[in-house]
A and B are shown apart, each in its own frame.
Chain A
Amino acid sequence: MEAHSSEVFVIGLTVFFLACIIGYYVVWSVTPALHSPLMGVTNAISSVIIVGAILAAGPFGHDTSKIFGIIGVVLASINIFGGFIVTYRMLSMFKKKPKKDKKD
């Protein structure tokens, strides 16, 4: 599998620029009140880098690379779980005005 020709790079570049444009429009539509949860969620999804770490940790043997991969999986997992949970906590606090004044 010789995947890294210049053709592959150009496809990657195409995907990259289109994704930047999607990101630009999607992020501008985020309401400023939710900018903190936005950071939480982007933090979690940027840890999709775990995909690379799993590939490195996957094969039997290959010692150095495998250790790096496993460390990568641990670090990315901290972020994935931490990021989504903290975002969930933030978002569950944003509540509508209650119809009746409830006491707590």
Chain B
Amino acid sequence: MSANMVAVLYLISALMFIFALRGLSHPESSRLGNIFGIVGMIIAIITTLMFKSVLSYVEIGAAIIIGGAIGTFIALRIEMTALPQLVAAFHSLVGIAAVFVAAAAFYDPESFGIGKIGLIGTSSLIEMSIGTFIGAITFSGSVLAFGKLQGTVSGKPIVFKFQHTINALILVLIIALIIIFVINQSPSIFWTIVIVSILLGFLVVIPIGGADMPVVVSMLNSYSGWAACGIGFTLSNNLLIITGALVGASGAILSYIMSKGMNRSIISVVLGGFGGEQALSAAGDNSDKIVKQGNAEDAAYIMKNADSVIIVPGYGMAVAQAQHALREMGDILKKEGINVRYAIHPVAGRMPGHMNVLLAEANVPYEEVLELDEINHDFPMTEVSFVIGANDVTNPAAKTDETSPIFGMPILDVEKSQTVLFVKRSMATGYSGVDNELFYRDNTTMLFGDAKKMCEDIVKSLA
């Protein structure tokens, strides 16, 4: 195949990837988008297999079959509530794959047309080491994020002295190593860069708490794209550069949306430690206030007699796997002629769009699921807000209390509805460690218990 033919096929593949993302602008077109993505990938792989230098079809075929079988198995088995950790795990694979490709290019530059061993061009070496560096950070950062999301590692932010100084020093060390690597092209320096970058990846994610995970997962998404870009520059491959840039931009935008949803700068999330000491001072002064408690029958009665109900789900719903029971409850209310809708805060859950997927899994039609700015002005006209597993995203302190760590965060104005039903396991605070004054309001009824059990009990009472 001629070089021009290869370039054209790679271009088609890149266009397919753009269409794949474009398709996600609407649920109707999204499935077609995914098919575009698959077609683009098939074109890219077949085109590469046609290269004259590519001869080991048996080994490559076996590798694709093994990897494909593992990927298929995992993707079919995974529970939708475990999506965030799955995505984190996948990011780590992109990262480590980038490291392996960079290593392969370093050990056999001739196959990639970038020079001979020990005589690789300077720009190739720089691109290679940047790709390696980002890939290695993506790998270890994602592994740790996976551990935190899965619960194998504590989700609490781990903060220690001189954390940022140490990270900065390591970064300087990596830059120094890259310079040495470019000069002497030594394999041991290459692997030192890999190891030190892996260490940095761990240190970057360690101070970040569980609820900041949407930002971290998006950021790692972005990194995995930039890693692919770095490799694309190394190999002078436009397809890799384009795709890497698309993914990198996507992750960066998601990180921006997520941190805006918390009214925090990306930098403050990255620096981490949220929900640590400052939280203690904010909580604890509400112990004498009275909380109105209710049970499933009360909730059923209140909702049955309402005209409109807005359901506000949060991470607690995912943990309790309550989405199916919740949808059942919503269906019964709809049959009674009640207007039931769902309000999703941008940072609800552990990854962008997490709640939307869980509600979709429970067969909630997507027209009933609305974003914060689509539904927030409807709360004053709503009789019942049903908050399930969410907390901080409804806390009015974000609007009124300047001393609160969550001040300025956009919230769902559930307090403006006539009645607020709050499903919660206990009076514990949300991830920010801030007490929610909503619990003590006259129009709030607390429903203590497991979210799933509570929904099932309400369904029984409604029947």
Contact = CB atoms under 8 A, between A and B. Distances in A.
Dominant secondary structure of chain A at its interface with chain B: helix
A57 B60 contact: yes
B37 A82 contact: no
Q: Tell me if B's interface is mostly helix, strand, loop or mixed.
A: helix
Interface string B244-275: 11111111011001000000000000000000
A78 to B, nearest CB: 4
A19 B108 CA distance: 29
B114 interface: yes
B22 interface: yes
Interface stretch (B223-231, B406-414, B454-462): B223-231
B103 interface: yes
A15 B241 CA distance: 7
A3 B141 CA distance: 34
Given A72-B97, A101-B335, A49 B113 contact: no
Interface in A58-81: 58-60, 62, 64-66, 68-81
A35 to B, nearest CB: 3
Interface string B63-74: 111111111101
A36 B353 contact: yes
Contacts of A39: 87, 217-218, 221, 250-251, 254, 351-353
Nearest to A53: B101
Interface in A37-53: 37-53
Contacts of A32: 257, 344, 346, 352-353, 356, 371
Interface stretch (B41-49, B156-164, B205-213, B393-401): B41-49
B246 A26 contact: yes
A23 to B, nearest CB: 3
Contact of A38 (B45, B90, B353): B353
Task: Name the interface size band of chain B.
Answer: 35 or more
Nearest to A88: B34
B310 interface: no
Interface string B344-386: 1010000111101100110101111101000000000000000
B78 interface: yes
Contacts of B41: 44-45, 47-48, 80, 84
B202 interface: no
Contacts of A11: 238
Contact of A62 (B63, B78, B108, B221): B108
Contacts of B107: 62, 64-65, 68
A54 B49 contact: yes
Contact of B243 (A31, A36, A46, A94): A46
A34 B356 contact: yes
A17 to B, nearest CB: 8
Given A23-B248, A57-B60, A33 B93 contact: no
A58 B221 contact: no
B286 interface: no
Contact of A22 (B18, B59, B78, B83): B18
Contact of A36 (B65, B69, B241, B356): B356
B241 A52 contact: no
The bracket for how many chain A residues form the interface is 35 or more
B417 interface: no
A15 B244 CA distance: 11
B30 A57 contact: no
Given A39-B351, A43-B224, A85-B75, A95 B363 contact: yes
17 contacts: A3-B113, A19-B246, A27-B253, A28-B253, A37-B30, A41-B20, A41-B21, A43-B224, A44-B41, A48-B17, A49-B94, A72-B104, A78-B68, A82-B71, A92-B31, A93-B80, A101-B335
Given A23-B246, A65-B108, 18 more contacts: A34-B356, A37-B353, A39-B250, A46-B243, A48-B44, A56-B104, A58-B53, A58-B60, A66-B104, A66-B108, A74-B63, A74-B70, A75-B97, A77-B66, A77-B67, A78-B71, A82-B74, A95-B360
Interface of B: 13-14, 17-18, 20-22, 24-28, 30-31, 33-34, 37-38, 40-41, 44-45, 48-49, 51, 53-56, 59-60, 63-72, 74-76, 78, 80, 83, 86-87, 90-91, 93-94, 96-98, 100-101, 103-105, 107-108, 111-115, 121, 123-124, 217-218, 221, 224-225, 227-229, 231-251, 253-254, 257, 331, 334-335, 344, 346, 351-354, 356-357, 360-361, 363, 365-369, 371
